[in-house]
Structure 1
């Protein structure tokens, strides 16, 4: 497909889904927090340097600890992400380090954080209802839910009621702060004779959060979500990357997972047709990765990953993940996971493109998935370009100004087409022309909209994930209604 055709396809998907006025219900769990965002400058890095052993930091950049037990670990994680242009999330192991970061680094702004929080806001802004787990709900967390379509279950003497988070504040709950260090392409740091320069915009996340680390369910969420499962079209579950191998009370990640997986099974017992999507995050621990693979993957319909997450879940024993944008390589690894865990869909989102591998049993046709991916990608590009909550009107405004398609994404599309043609899974010309191919599984590919001045890096995966899910279910429902009326 030529660039002009891709531009037309993006515009067509946005217009088509903007006309869909159906209000659907989604269950969203499990992690919600407050992101403390720092737009990192050289002065910020120099300030941290005054508190660390520089030689120790250099060692840790090349042998990453994958967790934050000191300021040296934090700076090593930031420099590793900067050097590779990747985004990772490491767990802070003590409140003392979190407090030290607040003193030394601080933040520029706070935003909604956590995949559950971000996806709830996107779903609600698209006119959908989100029944959301908010494990800690102080007033400053509640204010970050900006649409009335987000509802939290509340237990009362008469049963379960549903209210907007602002009307359900729990004053004794603590704010859960996650540290987001964003850097721009070209940002460079010299350290102990070495130079680090960012090849692309990205971020490093450091988290101290014992509540979300336990995938804690808010009071009433289990009861309320089970009550709403029959009417919901999908559930989106996330936060697993925050799990710890062991907890202070002696529990392990396996026991924590057992509780939330039992809830997923309850939803399914109420509504066997419920589509359940698990969105992954960067998971540093090999032990936790294996627990997720064995407990979560067999109990969901669909899994979403970026390129780094795909690598570490495909090869969970590898301590040092390698980030690759190669579409053929990612396709083969995603297909392996699809087959091994009997998933119905694996969704890969990178900066340059998005790709979906879809079984017929998922119930969404490849052409519908193609439209949904374009829709989700346009919303993610809107967030990246504006730094503001992505809405259809903002996406239209961005597109009306004109936009470019990622050259890297277009190249990877052709590489994947060559692989599929060689393997006998698709005709090269047809896949390049249409962006999708039918089969079991079907394959869908969409190059990203190129955003030259990035204003937000956090939440892009959450946005494309939730936007795509909305698109899928609106298009699927429209097809079923059309078939019903013509019968």
Structure 2
């Protein structure tokens, strides 16, 4: 069988990463702890960081001006990595053996050097390696990464993070528009019948002022792909939207086969969740309401999915979820998805599997599955990472690895 051809779009950027616990201990500002709708000042940034750390949650918010972005860049010391959902996923897929076509309208030579040379970008109708397709533009996203136990002193109080997570601050006029280059658009339209899958992301970056216009353009593009190639399997990965209503507007309009998000993003659209049963029930409700063949939720403790019976064998779905969970754990533990994954299973994930099996689920590998009302419910435990080196891109890595395995199984 020929290798799979997969489209990755839309955002690719440079992640500037700052380790909060190692480099920031005392905040002298008297900011409160809150999540603003948009970063309008340095006080907003500090308040959001304090809020995310004390709650153990992640968030991604837009910066309102290039001037503030410059202040943030100058104030902290950064390490740089390839970022953007599409860029991270493309690297994973290429290393797994897929032929990947990537959308990257703002790709500097520095960024291109971080992309697997097997990933291709269309230039005048010809797929080119990243370094040959690179230009001058690059979009930088600022990532404040913290681990469980990290603390800061703010307003005279010690704020300790209960969980690993990150806050992302973004000024990005390219990816917030889900921009795609004319070369990419034309190449995909002309060759879409050759592709087996597409991994789409970045919708959460659309600003509240004009998200409907942006979504309309991309929905039209996706529909045109589906019309020319009904067999292409398309997964859309969500993110931290400015407002829940933006995601709620998007979801029923997306012409895709599969939808993914983390537990915070799921809670933003359905309300508070308490435990894996709430999470699975909410995913079932979302899948039924949207009529999608598949919905998946990735968390620290487990990955779960709801699939229509007949889409994929339950054992193959669990193998795919395990591959995703293991690659993400290896990335967290070693800094590389291809490093050795940790040996232990997260206790919370194992407890969820045990309870699921008590609910008459069938155990398989490190997870379990159960048929219910025309769907298959699948649950796979995550691995325990004691001292994570990385918290950025874990969900994208898990999603890409699972997607590759699922497309392989569906093709067979």
8 Å CA contact 1:327–1:413 kept in 2: the answer is: no
Going from structure 1 to structure 2, the CA distance change for 1:22 and 1:461 (only over 3 Å counts) comes to farther
Which structure features the higher share of helix residues? 1
Alpha-carbon separation, structure 2, partners of 1:432 and 1:44: 42
8 Å CA contact 1:373–1:446 kept in 2: the answer is: yes
8 Å CA contact 1:327–1:415 kept in 2: the answer is: no
1:37 corresponds in structure 2 to 17
> Once the 2 structures are TM-superposed, how far is the Cα of residue 43 of structure 1 from its aligned partner?
5.1
Report whether the alignment pairs 1:81 with 2:55: no
Alignment of 1:127-142 (within 5 A): 127-142=97-112
- Counterpart of 1:121 (choices 87, 91, 114) is 91
Alpha-carbon separation, structure 1, partners of 2:344 and 2:274: 19
- Counterpart of 1:177 (choices 135, 140, 157) is 140
Alignment of 1:49-128 (within 5 A): 49-50=27-28, 52=29, 54=30, 57-58=31-32, 61=33, 63-107=34-78, 109-128=79-98
- Counterpart of 1:370 (choices 318, 338, 345) is 318
1:382 corresponds in structure 2 to 330
1:150 corresponds in structure 2 to 119
Alpha-carbon separation, structure 2, partners of 1:237 and 1:433: 28
Report whether the alignment pairs 1:351 with 2:300: yes
Report whether the alignment pairs 1:302 with 2:302: no
Alpha-carbon separation, structure 1, partners of 2:48 and 2:367: 40
> Once the 2 structures are TM-superposed, how far is the Cα of residue 285 of structure 1 from its aligned partner?
1.6
Alignment of 1:4-43 (within 5 A): 23-41=3-21
SS in structure 1 of the partner of residue 141 of structure 2: strand
Number of residue equivalences: 411
Alpha-carbon separation, structure 2, partners of 1:335 and 1:254: 27
Report whether the alignment pairs 1:226 with 2:189: yes
Report whether the alignment pairs 1:442 with 2:400: no
Going from structure 1 to structure 2, the CA distance change for 1:98 and 1:339 (only over 3 Å counts) comes to same
Alpha-carbon separation, structure 1, partners of 2:12 and 2:367: 38
8 Å CA contact 2:204–2:241 kept in 1: the answer is: yes
CA deviation string 1:299-326 (max 9, x = no partner): 11111110001111225xxxxxx5x561
> Once the 2 structures are TM-superposed, how far is the Cα of residue 222 of structure 1 from its aligned partner?
0.9
- Counterpart of 2:269 (choices 292, 313, 332) is 313
Provide the alpha-carbon RMSD of the alignment: 2.0
Going from structure 1 to structure 2, the CA distance change for 1:136 and 1:325 (only over 3 Å counts) comes to farther
Alpha-carbon separation, structure 2, partners of 1:29 and 1:311: 25
> Once the 2 structures are TM-superposed, how far is the Cα of residue 429 of structure 1 from its aligned partner?
6.4
Alpha-carbon separation, structure 2, partners of 1:410 and 1:42: 31
8 Å CA contact 2:357–2:368 kept in 1: the answer is: no
> Once the 2 structures are TM-superposed, how far is the Cα of residue 407 of structure 1 from its aligned partner?
0.4
CA deviation string 1:128-172 (max 9, x = no partner): 111111021221221121x232111112xxxx111012111223x
Q: TM-score with structure 1 length normalisation? A: 0.80
Alpha-carbon separation, structure 2, partners of 1:225 and 1:332: 37
CA deviation string 1:418-476 (max 9, x = no partner): 5xx3xxxxx25658996112452101111101111101100100011000011112233
- Counterpart of 1:165 (choices 127, 130, 146) is 130
1:14 corresponds in structure 2 to none
> Once the 2 structures are TM-superposed, how far is the Cα of residue 197 of structure 1 from its aligned partner?
0.6
8 Å CA contact 2:361–2:370 kept in 1: the answer is: no
8 Å CA contact 2:295–2:307 kept in 1: the answer is: yes
8 Å CA contact 1:181–1:205 kept in 2: the answer is: yes
Q: Tell me, which stretches of 5 or more residues in structure 2 are unaligned?
A: none
8 Å CA contact 2:353–2:367 kept in 1: the answer is: no
Q: Give the number of the structure whose alpha-carbon radius of gyration is greater.
A: 1
